[in-house]
Amino acid sequence: MNEATATSEHQAQAHSQEHAHPGPMVYVIVAVFLILLTAMELTVFYVQALKPVLVPMLLVLSGAKFILVAMFYMHLRYDGWTLTSVFIFPLMIATLLLFSLLALFAYLSHHMAGVVT
Amino acid sequence: MAAHPKPMSAPQVRSYLQGPAWEWLTTVDHKRVAVLYGAAAVLFLIVGGIEAMLIRIQLFTPDNHFISAEIYNQMFTMHGTTMIFLVAMPLLLGCYANFVIPLHIGARDVAFPRLNALSFWAFLSGAILLHAGWLMHSGLPNAGWFAYANLTDRQFTPGLNMDVWVVGMLILGASSVLGAVNFFVTIVTMRAPGMTYMRMQMFVWSMLITAILILIAFPPLTVGIIFLLMDRFFGTHFYQVLAGATPILWQHLFWLFGHPEVYIVALPAFGIVSEVIPTFARKPLFGYPMMAYSIILIAFLSYGVWGHHMFATGMGPVADAAFAVTSMLIAIPTGIKIFSWIATIWGGSLRFTTSFLFALGFLLEFTFGGLSGIMHASAPIDLQQTDSYFVVAHFHFTLFGGVVMALLAGFYYWWPKVTGTMLNEKLGKLHFWLTIIGFNGTFLPMHLVGIWGMPRRTYTYGAEMGWTTLNEIETVFALILGLAFAVMFIDVFWTIFAGEKAPSDPWDGRSLEWSLASPPPAYNFATIPTVRSRDAFWVVKYGRAGSRGIAMLAQGRSPQVEPEGPPTEPIHMPAQSIFPLILALGITVAGLGLLVDYPRAMITALIVMVLSAIGMGFEYPTFGEETEEAHSTSADADVRKVGLWAFIGSECVFFASLIATYMVYKARNVAGPGADILEIPLTSFSTFVLLMSSLLMVLALAAVQRGDKMWTRVWLLGTVSFGLIFLGGQVYEFTHFYHEGLALQTNLFGQTFYTLVGFHGAHVAIGVIWLSVLTIAAFMGKLGKSRALSVELGGLYWHFVDVVWVVIFTLVYLMQQVKGA
C-alpha cells in the first residue's frame, strides 16, 4: 500500500469515527446524571454536617459535571485525539495558572500584610 | 480551506502581484497578506528606530534636554511597544509564517483565509490607534511598554495616553489570537499527504508551538488590560491599593504573557535559523527530533518562569526558588538547539551568503544574551540588576541579537521567493558587518554601565556619575546601526528597480517552497505534493544516499529541477472579500469612539462589525457543509472544528485568569456587600436551565444529523429559549444586587463578581445570537443534514459556556463562605 493511499484511508476512517456520536438516549441519561450531581452539590452546600468537606466534595462533584459535558455533549469521548489534546492542554495550563496565582497571593496576604499591597 | 469555485486562468496568474489597489484591499491570499504585514511592519520599524535614536541622542551627554522628560517617557514606551507588537510579531507571524507555512506543508492557503485577512486589518487598526497619540494633545502612551500599575492609574496618567495604549493593545491581542488559531489549524490539518509531524520543516514546528503559546499566553494579558480599561473608563479599582486591590496583580497578569512573549518571538526566529543553516551548510539539520522536542520544552517551561521578572516584588523564598529553577531549566533545551546548529555547521560545505552570515550573527549574539539571561534566573543576582541598563543590554542581545538577526537572515533567504528578484550580496554583506559593529558597540557597553548603576528609563544623568563616555559610545554606534538599515533599504530599492531575476531555487534549498516558481503562483501547488521524507525537495533533487544526486553534490553541481507548469485542472481558491477590511474599520471607529467618549460612533461601528461578521460568514458558499477540502485534512477532524476547539482552549485560560482574580479579591474586600449577598436558589434554577439547554442542544444535533427537520427546529428553539431564560435570570440578579447597594464600583467583590459573571453572560448572549441564526436557518429550511456541522460548531460553543458556568456556580456561588486567597 503506498503512502498516499494509506493516508486517505486513514482520513476516511478517522472521519467516520468522528461522527460516531451517541444517540438521544445517552444524552438524556447524561442529563439525568448532571441533575443528580447538581442536587448533590446543593445538598453539600446546605447540610451543616458536610461543611468540613465542602470544598473537596464540591470540587469533585463539579469536576464530574464538567467531565460529563465535555465527554458526551462536546463529544470528546467520540472524536479523535487531536481535539481532546487541543482542549486538555490549555485546560491543564488554566488550572495551573489558577492555583499558582492563588498560592502566590495567599503568600502575599499572609506574610506581607501591611508591607506590600 | 474555503471552496469557492474560481479556476485560475493563466493571465490571472501572470497578473498576480501586479493587481490594482482593490485586489490588495480585498485579498485573502496568504502570500499577499504576508506582504501587507511585512510592509506595515517595516513602516513601524522605521518609526521604532527613530524613537530609539531619539532616546540615544537624549542620553548622549549628561544633563541633556534635547527632548523633554515627558517626550522621553513616550519614546521609550512606544519604542518597546512598537518593536515588540508592531515589528517583531507582525514580521515573524504575519509576514514570514504567513508566506512560508502553507508552502512548507504543501498547502494552497491557510485554513481560514478571510480570518487571515481580518487578522492583518485588525492589526493595522490597533497599530493606528496606538499611534493616534501623535494627533492628540496628550501625546503618545507614556507608562512603559509593560504599563505597570499604578503608573497607569487615571490619577497618575490623566490624559488619553494610556487609554490609547489600552484600546490599541486589546485589538492587537485579538488579532494575534485570530492569527494563532489560523496557523495552528493550518499546520494540524492541512499538511500534504505523507507530511507527518516528524517530517515538517523546523520552521513549521516552531510556528506550531508558537501558535499554542499565543493561545495560552495572551488571555492573561487581555484580562489584565480589561481590568485596566475598566479602571480608566468605568471607575473600578482593580489596581488601587486604597480599595484593597494590589498593583502586583497587573505584574502577574502582564508577565504571565510577557515571558512567553519572549519565546513567541524567539521560537519563530529559531525556526528561521533552522532553515537557513542547513541550506547553506548543505547538511540536514543535526538532531532533528531533539530540536523539535526542545521547542516544545522551551514553550512549556516559558509559561512557568514569569516570576523571574518579579523577584524584586517579594514573592517569598519558595516562589523565588521555583521560578529560579524553571528559569535555569529553560537553558537546557535552548542549549540543545545551539549545539545542534553548531553541529549542523560543523563539517558542512559552507556558503557565506548574507543570509548565512546573519544566521551566524544570531548564533553568536543570542548565545551571549542567553548567558546574561541565566544570571537573571538567580534571584540574588537579579535583585542587583533589576531596572538597570544591564537588563536593557540583556534583552537587546536576545531580541535584537537573536530575533532581529534571525529576521534578517530570513529576509535575505526568502526575498527571492517572495519577489522573484535577487538582493545585492555585496550590499547585504555591508549591511551585515555594519549591523554587527553597530549592535555590539551599542549594547555591549550597556552591561558595564548597568553594573555601574545606571537605571533604565532614566531621562538624564549627571556628569559626576561616570557614565558619560560609555553613553557617548553607545549613541555613536547606534547611529552606525541606523546606517546599517539605511544600506538595507538602499539594497531593497536598488533590487526593486534593477534587481537580477531570481530563479526558482537560488540557494539549492531543501524545502518545498523552492520547488515553486519565484514568486509562487496564487494557488501555490498545481498538484499537492506527496511527501516521503524530511527536506522533501532536497530528496527530489538529489535522492537518498548512494543515488546519482549525491554524486552530483560531491562534484559541486546542483541538479536543475524546473518548477511545475500551470495547473491542468481548475483549482478552487477562496474568493476575495471586502468584509475583513470593513470589520477592521468598524473596530477602529469603535476604538476611537471609546477614546473620545462618543457612544453613537461606537454603536454604529458595532453594528457595522456585526453585519460584516455575518457577511463574512454568509459569503462562504458552503457554510456549515462538510466540503471535500474539509475531508482531506491531515488530522482526524474538520478544519473548522479544530479551529473552534483551539479558540475554546484559549478561552479556558481567559476564564481561569478572571476566576483567579475573583478568588484573590474576594478575600481582600474591605467594605460593602460581599459573597454572602449571592442567592443560591435563583442561581440553582439558572444552572438547571443552562444544563437542560445543553441537553436540548445535543438533541438538536442528533435530529439534524438524522435529517429530522421538525425536531431540529423544536430543540434549537428550546435551546435559545433556555438561553434567554438564563440571561433573564442574570439581568434580574444584577438588578437586584444593584438595588441592594452592590454596584460595579462599590468594592473589590462587586467589580470582580460583575466582571467574571458578566463576561460569562456576554458569552451566553453571543451563543444565543449564534443559535438564533441557526434556528432561523432551520425554519427557512436551510439547515439540512449536509449542514449538521454548523449545528455541531454552535453546540460546541454552547457546551463550553455551560462548563464554564459549572465551574463558576461551584467556585463563586456554592463556595461563597470559603475565604479566598
Q: Three-state SS for B388? A: strand
- Answer whether B533 touches A (CB < 8 Å): no
Give me the torsion for CA of B203, B512, B182, A70, rounded to 10°: -80
Looking at chain B, how many residues does it have? Answer: 821
- Rounded to whole angstroms, how far apart are CA atoms B162 and B156? 10
Q: Write the pLDDT tens digit of every residue in A83-109.
A: 899 999 999 999 999 999 999 998 888
User: Cα-atom radius of gyration of chain A, to the nearest Å?
Assistant: 22
- Rounded to whole angstroms, how far apart are CA atoms B765 and B761? 6
pLDDT at residue number B655: 97
Strands B421-422 and B500-501: antiparallel
Query: Is pLDDT of B670 > 70?
Result: yes
How many helices (DSSP H) and strands (DSSP E) are in chain B? 29, 2
- Rounded to whole angstroms, how far apart are CA atoms B128 and B15? 31
What is the mean predicted confidence (pLDDT) over B442-449?
97
Predicted-complex ipTM score: 0.88
Q: How many CB atoms lie within 10 A of CB B347?
A: 10
- Answer whether A102 touches B (CB < 8 Å): yes
Q: Are B123 and B95 in contact (CB under 8 A)?
A: no
Lowest mean pLDDT among B333-342, B465-474, B593-602, B625-634: B625-634
Output the DSSP codes for B300-359: HHHTT-GGGG-GGG---HHHHHHHHHHHHHTHHHHHHHHHHHHHHHTT------HHHHHH
- Rounded to whole angstroms, how far apart are CA atoms B408 and B424? 14
Query: Cell 441592594 maps to which residue?
Result: B740
Contact B660 A4 (CB under 8 A): no
- Answer whether B140 touches A (CB < 8 Å): no
Question: Which one of B199, B282, B337, B640 is the catalytic residue?
Answer: B337
Closest Cβ opposite residue B821 in set A28, A72, A102: A102
Query: Is pLDDT of B625 > 60?
Result: no
Query: Cell 425536531 maps to which residue?
Result: B711
pLDDT at residue number B49: 97
- Rounded to whole angstroms, how far apart are CA atoms B698 and B714? 12
- Rounded to whole angstroms, how far apart are CA atoms B687 and B693? 10
Residue B784 Ramachandran class (φ > 0 left, ψ -120 to 50 alpha, else beta): beta
At B627, is the pLDDT very low, low, confident or very high (cuts 50, 70, 90)? Answer: low
Q: What is the CATH number of domain B662-814?
A: 1.20.120.80
What is the mean predicted confidence (pLDDT) over B421-448?
97
- Answer whether A53 touches B (CB < 8 Å): no
Residue B672 Ramachandran class (φ > 0 left, ψ -120 to 50 alpha, else beta): left
Give me the torsion for CA of B723, B724, B730, B732, rounded to 10°: -150
Chain B: residue whose CA lies nearest to A52: B818
pLDDT at residue number B15: 54
Residues 74-93 of A with CB under 8 A from B: 74-75, 79-83, 86-87, 89-91, 93
Contact B636 A24 (CB under 8 A): no
Q: Tell me whether residue B456 is one of the annotated catalytic residues.
A: yes
Closest Cβ opposite residue A83 in set B532, B637, B695: B637
Interior CA angle at B509 toward B506 and B513, to 5°? Answer: 90
Alpha carbon distances (Å) from B748 to A114, B253, B669, B675, B759? 18, 17, 5, 11, 16
Query: Is pLDDT of B464 > 80?
Result: yes
* Chain B residues near residue A11 by CB distance under 8 angstroms: 631-634, 636
- Rounded to whole angstroms, how far apart are CA atoms B721 and B220? 33
Closest CA of chain A from B87, distance in Å = 27
Q: Tell me whether residue B274 is one of the annotated catalytic residues.
A: yes
Query: Is pLDDT of B249 > 70?
Result: yes
Closest Cβ opposite residue A82 in set B307, B635, B692: B635
CATH 1.20.210.10 fits B29-501, yes or no: yes
Closest CA of chain A from B630, distance in Å = 10
Helices (H), B132-191: 161-189
Of B534, B496, B497, B485, the C-alpha closest to B105 is B534
Alpha carbon distances (Å) from B678 to A49, B385, B529? 22, 47, 60
pLDDT at residue number B19: 60
Grid cell listed for B235: 471607575
Q: Are B219 and B556 in contact (CB under 8 A)?
A: no
Query: Is pLDDT of A10 > 60?
Result: no
What is the mean predicted confidence (pLDDT) over A53-70?
96
Helices (H), chain A: 3-18, 24-46, 54-68, 81-111
- Rounded to whole angstroms, how far apart are CA atoms B754 and B230? 11
Q: Three-state SS for B500? A: strand
pLDDT at residue number A116: 44
Q: Is the peptide bond before B150 cis (omega within 30 degrees of 0)?
A: yes
Query: Is pLDDT of B4 > 50?
Result: no
Q: Write the pLDDT tens digit of every residue in B545-555.
A: 545 555 555 56
At B617, is the pLDDT very low, low, confident or very high (cuts 50, 70, 90)? Answer: confident
* Chain A residues near residue B216 by CB distance under 8 angstroms: 90, 93-94
* Chain A residues near residue B633 by CB distance under 8 angstroms: 11
* Chain A residues near residue B675 by CB distance under 8 angstroms: none
Q: Are B91 and B37 in contact (CB under 8 A)?
A: yes
Query: Is pLDDT of B490 > 90?
Result: yes
Q: Tell me whether residue B176 is one of the annotated catalytic residues.
A: yes
More reliable by pLDDT, B652 or B557: B652
Position B494, amino acid: W
- Answer whether B296 touches A (CB < 8 Å): no
Query: Is pLDDT of B518 > 60?
Result: yes
Among A1, A2, A82, A115, the residue to mutate for chain B (most B Cβ within 10 A): A82
DSSP code of B455?
B
Q: Which regions of chain B carry the CATH code 1.20.210.10? A: 29-501
Q: How many CB atoms lie within 10 A of CB A97?
A: 26
Q: Are B64 and B460 in contact (CB under 8 A)?
A: yes
Query: Cell 444584577 maps to which residue?
Result: B734
Average pLDDT, chain A: 83
Closest Cβ opposite residue B821 in set A66, A73, A105: A105
Grid cell listed for B783: 439547515
- Rounded to whole angstroms, how far apart are CA atoms B149 and B255? 13
Q: Write the pLDDT tens digit of every residue in B266-276.
A: 999 999 999 99
Q: What is the pTM of this model?
A: 0.92
CA B121 to chain centre: 14
- Answer whether B528 touches A (CB < 8 Å): no
Closest Cβ opposite residue A90 in set B653, B695, B817: B653
Query: Cell 530540536 maps to which residue?
Result: B291
Grid cell listed for B355: 543570509
- Answer whether B694 touches A (CB < 8 Å): yes
Average pLDDT, chain B: 91
Q: Tell me whether residue B337 is one of the annotated catalytic residues.
A: yes
Q: Are B276 and B268 in contact (CB under 8 A)?
A: no
Contact B188 A82 (CB under 8 A): yes
CA B612 to chain centre: 23
pLDDT at residue number A98: 94
At B435, is the pLDDT very low, low, confident or very high (cuts 50, 70, 90)? Answer: very high
* Chain B residues near residue A45 by CB distance under 8 angstroms: 680, 814
Contact B807 A108 (CB under 8 A): no
Q: Write the pLDDT tens digit of every residue in B808-817.
A: 999 999 998 8
Q: Write the pLDDT tens digit of every residue in B100-158.
A: 999 999 999 999 999 999 999 999 999 999 998 888 888 899 999 999 998 999 989 99
Q: Which residues contact B790 (CB under 8 A, 6 or more apart)?
A: B623, B624, B774, B777, B783
At B180, is the pLDDT very low, low, confident or very high (cuts 50, 70, 90)? Answer: very high
Residues 761-800 of B with CB under 8 A from A: 792, 795-796, 799-800
Q: Write the pLDDT tens digit of every residue in B577-609.
A: 999 999 999 999 999 999 988 899 999 999 999
Contact B220 A97 (CB under 8 A): yes
Q: Are B790 and B696 in contact (CB under 8 A)?
A: no
Question: Which one of B72, B121, B239, B263 is the catalytic residue?
Answer: B263
Query: Cell 453539600 maps to which residue?
Result: A44
Grid cell listed for B96: 514570514
Q: Tell me whether residue B334 is one of the annotated catalytic residues.
A: yes
Q: Are B33 and B178 in contact (CB under 8 A)?
A: no
Percent of chain B past pLDDT 90, that is, above it, reads 81
Q: Write the pLDDT tens digit of every residue in B741-800.
A: 999 999 999 999 999 999 999 999 999 999 999 999 999 988 888 889 999 999 999 999
Contact B656 A17 (CB under 8 A): no
Contact A4 B194 (CB under 8 A): yes
B388 phi and psi angles, rounded to 5 deg: -105, 170
Query: Is pLDDT of B623 > 60?
Result: no
More reliable by pLDDT, B541 or B754: B754
Query: Is pLDDT of B556 > 90?
Result: no
Interior CA angle at B675 toward B669 and B677, to 5°? Answer: 125
pLDDT at residue number B615: 85
Contact B795 A61 (CB under 8 A): no
At A2, is the pLDDT very low, low, confident or very high (cuts 50, 70, 90)? Answer: very low
Q: Which regions of chain B carry the CATH code 1.20.120.80? A: 662-814
More reliable by pLDDT, B260 or B818: B260
Q: Are B341 and B273 in contact (CB under 8 A)?
A: yes
Position B706, amino acid: R
Q: How many CB atoms lie within 10 A of CB B507?
A: 23
Closest Cβ opposite residue B652 in set A11, A31, A90: A90
Contact B796 A24 (CB under 8 A): no
Q: Which residues contact B106 (CB under 8 A, 6 or more apart)?
A: B191, B192, B195, B512, B525, B528, B529, B531, B536
* Chain A residues near residue B697 by CB distance under 8 angstroms: 73
Q: Three-state SS for B238? A: coil
Q: Are A79 and A20 in contact (CB under 8 A)?
A: no
- Answer whether A38 touches B (CB < 8 Å): yes
Residues 7-26 of A with CB under 8 A from B: 7-8, 11-12, 14-15, 17-19, 21, 23-24
- Answer whether B705 touches A (CB < 8 Å): yes
Query: Is pLDDT of B634 > 70?
Result: no
Grid cell listed for B819: 475565604
Question: Which one of B96, B145, B341, B754 is the catalytic residue?
Answer: B145
Q: Are A69 and B627 in contact (CB under 8 A)?
A: no
Q: Are A78 and A18 in contact (CB under 8 A)?
A: yes
Query: Is pLDDT of B12 > 70?
Result: no
